[in-house]
Amino acid sequence: MPKKEQKDKTGSTGRFGSRYGTRVRERVKEVEERTKGLHQCPECRSKKVKRAGSGIWKCNRCGAKFSAKAHTPATTPIKKEVTPETEVEENHEADEKEESE
Ligand SMILES: [Zn+2]
């Protein structure tokens, strides 16, 4: 019989022992894995963001501190201003106004 490797399924919820039930512990584990893991920084884009408090996230690379969700930083990707090239109009008139008096 092949030796089956028993992996530790308890993870961070091992501290609960057998209490609260498997389902609950599984769900807590799911959340805690996301909470305790490293996330991408919206500033420098490195995966160095750790939870500093409830809803507070801090990047260990650039030091950026920002607020987001309690257990995960915002899951929506950082909004990039994507302007289709067809919509970009050459409108530099205001910028090129010479201020010579
Ligand atoms: Zn950063």
Enclosing domain of residue 33? 9-37
Position 93 confidence tier, pLDDT thresholds 50, 70, 90:
low
What pLDDT is recorded for position 34?
87
Tell me the pLDDT tens digit for each residue of 3-60.
777 667 788 899 999 999 999 999 999 989 989 999 999 889 899 999 999 999 999 9
| Tokens describing residue 36 | 């305790």
Is residue 70 domain-resident?
A: no
State in Å: Cα 57 to ligand 1 middle: 10
Structural tokens at position 28: 């807590």
Is 77 within the bounds of a domain?
A: no
pLDDT at 81: 61
Domains in the chain, number: 1
CA of 19 to the centre of ligand 1 (A): 38
34: Cα separation from own chain's centroid:
9
Query: Which is higher by pLDDT, 86 or 43?
Result: 43
**CA angle (75, 78, 80) in 5-degree steps:** 150
